A and B are shown apart, each in its own frame.
Chain A
Amino acid sequence: MKSVLKNGSPVLATLVLLSAWEAAVRALRVPEYVLPGPSRVLESLVVHAGPIASHTAATLEATMLGFSLSVVLGLTLGLLSGLSESFQRAIYPMLVAFNTIPKVAIVPVLVIWFGIGKVPAILTASLISFFPVFVNVSTALVTTEPELRDMLLSLGATRAQILIKVGLPRSMPYFFGSLKIASTLAFVGAIISETVASNEGVGYLMIAASSRFDVPLLFAGLLVISAISVILYAVFVLLERRLAGWAFRPPG
């Protein structure tokens, strides 16, 4: 009973919220173009299932491509700055400064360079999401126990060997931890770019719906976005447990 309650509580909380929402909308007769009830949103989701699916596929494609780029970029920068302290010192301030730029401000630049469409979405996705990968990997490498380093050096190990034998395996939990965050960020980045400069994707769909005052569709889009975020997160949690399971000791 207890475990049912424990595992079921997120579902229960969601259901309570949704019914309260539905009840309030009906009781107060809130017009649909202000706030549609969940049932209406669901209806819109079903009615527009076809276009929603194809736009979602486009967004996911941009997300995954951008995410892959960001993993390569973050990993490379992370490894380099873990290997060389001076490299880290040189690029860290720049990356921090870059990371604080709202990425929506970069999209116009990307549009000038690459035109409206998929490329800005992919690039925005990767630019918004490489930072956590970089920070986590470089932190993992820098915090390698000095004793381990000493032991390896005394055995005659080279820098590359230390990286391969200790640095990389040690950074795996940090790396997979960052993927959870980076994947959802990439998704957000893709949508941001689509709302500004694209003719496909969930972001574009929502802007289009908004200009037609199709608020139920707008909410359906939001629903799809949060569902996908949760799924992405869950996928990478699974991957993390699989590939860096040693870092999770059983409790107690």
Chain B
Amino acid sequence: MIELRGVSFGYPVRRNDGKDHQLVLDDVSMRIDAGSFVSVVGPSGCGKTTLLKLIAGLLRPLKGEIVYGGSNGPDSRPLIGMAFQNAVLLPWRTVLENVIFPLEVVKRWRSELRRRRHEFVERALALLRSVGLEEYAHRMPWELSGGMQQRVSLCRALIHEPDVLLLDEPFGALDMLTREELWSVLQDLWIERRCTVVMVTHDLREAVFLSDTIYVLGGRPATVIGCVTVSYPRPRPLDVCYRDDFVRATRDLRDLLERSSPKVVT
């Protein structure tokens, strides 16, 4: 479990009166149960990426604390996997080598890389197979379409068996059909592993389809203005999106967002 307790954060800005912070997040509290799928939605620029970086430990809160698995010691931070809107694959490595990359970095695996190389390759190939890209293993990233690259990026985020998967608008750059296809791919991967997922998204249908819990951020500085629980059974088929209660849930979320960001009159 990850718990955010009254987390505030601001990036340093230079002001006339010396250094200060421009608050981005103010008093954000969240409970992310282990093995659950949580989405974060909110208007553009409200601090969603910042929130992910805080959870990843790349930034430190100004106030409040983030507690991992009930303790907040220095070594309690879970193993993290990340994927972004851009796949950012390493262009000098093949698809397979890209997927294996985290194993060359994470302490737990790095020491065993040489001895267990064969096993790791098998693991990467299995992951690629599960996203339908096994025959592309030895291609270069630029030979793949955007959607395929994003699948590779998902595999790379999962290869080291992270406890927490952080996704920053992972499907934001894809067309609707590809996106929906990858929802199912992601859902299957998650059901199989049951790691904790925190996903930032702009797509409300995506949030409702994939999540157990959706946190809505709003205001300036942003704080949690709503939390919606979705309890459809898993695995969810794609046509769940056309059910009345699904459409209603999406619209409620939309209303909540709209109310939080006052309309600009043009």
User: Could you tell me which A residues sit within 8 Å of B by CB distance?
Assistant: 145, 147-148, 150-157, 161, 165-166, 169-170, 172, 244, 246-247, 249
Choose from B58, B91, B140 the contact partner of A154 (Cβ within 8 Å): B58
* Alpha-carbon gap, A156 to B74, bound state (A): 13
* Alpha-carbon gap, A156 to B92, bound state (A): 22
Q: Which of B88, B102, B140, B142 has the most CB of A within 10 A?
A: B88
Contact indicator B104/A165 (Cβ below 8 Å): yes
Q: Which A residues are in CB contact (< 8 Å) with B57?
A: 154
* Alpha-carbon gap, A249 to B91, bound state (A): 10
**Which DSSP category, helix, strand, loop or mixed, fits chain A's interface?**
helix
Number of A-B contacts (CB under 8 A): 50
Q: Which of A151, A153, A156, A166 has the most CB of B within 10 A?
A: A151
Contact indicator A155/B84 (Cβ below 8 Å): no
Q: Which of B61-119 contact A (CB under 8 A)?
A: 80, 82, 84, 86, 88, 90-92, 101-102, 104-107
Going nearest first, the 4 A-B pairs with the smallest beta carbon separation are A246-B92, A154-B56, A154-B80, A147-B84
Contact indicator A249/B142 (Cβ below 8 Å): yes
Contact indicator A169/B105 (Cβ below 8 Å): no
Choose from B53, B80, B107, B140 the contact partner of A246 (Cβ within 8 Å): B140
Contact indicator A155/B102 (Cβ below 8 Å): yes
A249 to chain B, nearest CB (A): 5
Contact indicator B105/A161 (Cβ below 8 Å): yes
* Alpha-carbon gap, A169 to B104, bound state (A): 15
B157 to chain A, nearest CB (A): 8
Q: Which A residues are in CB contact (< 8 Å) with B53?
A: 150
Contact indicator A156/B88 (Cβ below 8 Å): no
Q: Which B residues are in CB contact (< 8 Å) with A148?
A: 88, 90
Is B160 part of the binding interface, using a Cβ–Cβ cutoff of 8 Å? yes
B169 to chain A, nearest CB (A): 11
A161 to chain B, nearest CB (A): 6
**Contacts A150-B53, A154-B58: A246 and B102 contacting too (C-beta < 8 A)?**
no
Contact indicator A166/B106 (Cβ below 8 Å): no
B54 to chain A, nearest CB (A): 12
* Alpha-carbon gap, A155 to B140, bound state (A): 23
* Alpha-carbon gap, A154 to B80, bound state (A): 6
Q: Which A residues are in CB contact (< 8 Å) with B160?
A: 155
* Alpha-carbon gap, A156 to B105, bound state (A): 7
**Contacts A246-B140, A249-B142: A152 and B105 contacting too (C-beta < 8 A)?**
yes
Contact indicator A150/B80 (Cβ below 8 Å): no
B87 to chain A, nearest CB (A): 9
Q: Which A residues are in CB contact (< 8 Å) with B90?
A: 148, 166, 169-170
> In this complex, what residue of B is CB-closest to A144?
B88
Can you sample 12 A-B contacts with CB below 8 Å? A145-B88, A147-B82, A147-B88, A148-B88, A150-B82, A154-B58, A154-B80, A154-B82, A155-B105, A165-B105, A170-B92, A249-B142
> In this complex, what residue of B is CB-closest to A246?
B92
* Alpha-carbon gap, A244 to B91, bound state (A): 11
* Alpha-carbon gap, A153 to B90, bound state (A): 16
Q: Which A residues are in CB contact (< 8 Å) with B80?
A: 154-155
B256 to chain A, nearest CB (A): 29
Contact indicator B58/A150 (Cβ below 8 Å): yes
Q: Which A residues are in CB contact (< 8 Å) with B142?
A: 249
